[in-house]
């Protein structure tokens, strides 16, 4: 019993420490995301993404890069762009860029995994888009695309877009009140995923033995980057399976990705795990609702094939240049998290900024009415389960942290 209580305390402390390490990055990322959602409109995107294929892919990638990293917002925006005339390939480029090339994800990855994974994330995001583009050119699914557009014809009307120029918005109080409300909504979208994700990461760190990872990922846990091709391939295939079982969003999954790497999973396997946020069942179901099951399954095929090819390519390219990261560089769970260092001061600074935004949103009286951009239709059952899971996590964390104080 004493051993369990000690592990519980360590798990809760690790989860809280992980979140403290990433707090300033979350705040910075969602402030930037909120500013972009308010100050940049979709009308220009819709007007420029339907003609020249090469240009439309580049524009889709760019617009995705400056958009939200929330998978559900990305799915809804992709559907909207495709419905308004954007080509299928440029819509896929937008979807992949908005979930893999965004700034906030890179910041979180740099904190937990190091610069090689940041490079892998951004280079890999571009490779994902290129591979999907090539697959679409080869397969040429014209009938599927035509049918998918037909499925959207009777879709509900889109929200109207405020076309006030970004210069007017950024210099007005109303614009920043909208940013503050969007910021609140951004956190509203992810708080459950982040809570559950960081709690699971702490539990895995404290309770799951090395032997489990060695059984799941062949030849992991050996402290080496020297894997055979078949072992790398197995890691790349199992990575998405692990992501499917722990679907908690790309941001919440990063601490768990760091733990996987620290346990000896190959670079390719960890990258495949990170890239897998668009090949899980909730996303499959949403795409089926939008485009029909045939197109939804085709999109899963495109994305899974692309992430396998991308992860293997990154692994052997990094190996060729002798820059594969070493699992020993990940030391999560081995140190004190709540030190007075740069993380402490960054967290304090960004918490003050966050407090000011909350003040604007709740206490600044304006006649502005901010409506958030469309979100993909989440499953009420899954959302309810996730909400109660998050509450259970808070009880678990509070109990574990109290135990940590008493046991020390």
Q: What is the pLDDT of residue 304?
A: 94
Residue 157 binned pLDDT confidence (cut-offs 50, 70, 90): very low
Q: What is the pLDDT of residue 25?
A: 77
Determine the average pLDDT of the residues in 383-398.
Answer: 91
Higher pLDDT pick, 221 / 227: 227
Helix 71-83 to helix 281-291 angle (10° resolution) is: 20
* CB distance 243 to 260 below 8 Å: no
Integer angstrom CA distances of residue 196 from 68, 156, 260, 353: 20, 33, 17, 25
Q: What is the pLDDT of residue 378?
A: 61
Q: What is the pLDDT of residues 335-389, one digit of tens each?
A: 567 888 888 999 999 999 999 988 887 776 655 555 445 555 566 777 788 889 9
* CB distance 116 to 318 below 8 Å: yes
Show Cβ contacts of residue 59 under 8 Å, excluding neighbours closer than 6 positions: 45, 48, 49, 90
Burial class (CB in 10 A: 0-12, 13-18, 19+), 320: exposed
Check whether 278 has a pLDDT greater than 60: yes
């Amino acid at each position: 019993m004493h051993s369990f209580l000690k592990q519980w305390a360590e798990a809760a402390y690790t989860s809280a420490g992980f979140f403290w390490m990433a707090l300033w990055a979350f705040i910075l990322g969602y402030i930037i995301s909120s500013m972009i959602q308010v100050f940049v409109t979709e009308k220009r995107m819709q007007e420029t993404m339907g003609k020249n294929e090469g240009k439309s892919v580049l524009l889709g990638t760019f617009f995705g890069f400056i958009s939200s990293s929330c998978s559900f917002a990305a799915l809804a925006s992709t559907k909207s762009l495709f419905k308004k005339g954007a080509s299928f390939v440029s819509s896929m480029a937008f979807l992949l860029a908005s979930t893999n090339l965004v700034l906030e994800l890179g910041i979180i990855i740099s904190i937990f995994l190091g610069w090689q994974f940041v490079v892998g994330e951004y280079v890999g995001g571009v490779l994902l888009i290129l591979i999907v583009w090539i697959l679409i050119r080869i397969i040429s699914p014209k009938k599927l695309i035509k049918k998918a557009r037909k499925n959207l014809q009777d879709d509900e009307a889109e929200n109207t877009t405020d076309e006030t120029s970004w210069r007017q918005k950024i210099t007005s109080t109303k614009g920043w009140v909208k940013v503050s409300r969007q910021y609140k909504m951004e956190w509203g979208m992810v708080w459950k995923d982040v809570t559950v994700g960081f709690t699971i990461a702490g539990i895995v760190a404290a309770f799951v033995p090395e032997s489990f990872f060695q059984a799941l990922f062949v030849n992991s846990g050996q402290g080496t980057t020297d894997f055979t091709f078949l072992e790398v391939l197995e890691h790349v295939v199992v990575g998405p399976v692990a992501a499917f079982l722990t679907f908690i969003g790309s941001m919440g999954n990063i601490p768990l990705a760091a733990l996987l790497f620290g346990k000896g999973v190959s670079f390719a396997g960890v990258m495949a795990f990170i890239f897998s946020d668009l090949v899980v069942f909730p996303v499959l179901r949403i795409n089926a609702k939008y485009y029909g099951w045939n197109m939804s399954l085709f999109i899963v095929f495109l994305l899974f094939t692309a992430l396998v090819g991308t992860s293997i390519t990154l692994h052997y390219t990094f190996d060729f240049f002798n820059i594969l990261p070493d699992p020993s560089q990940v030391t999560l769970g081995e140190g004190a998290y709540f030190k007075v260092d740069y993380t402490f001061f960054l967290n304090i600074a960004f918490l003050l900024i966050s407090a000011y935004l909350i003040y604007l949103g709740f206490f600044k009286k304006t006649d502005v009415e901010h409506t958030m951009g469309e979100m993909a239709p989440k499953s009420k059952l899954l959302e309810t389960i996730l909400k109660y899971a998050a509450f259970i996590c808070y009880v678990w964390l509070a109990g574990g942290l109290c135990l940590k104080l008493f046991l020390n």
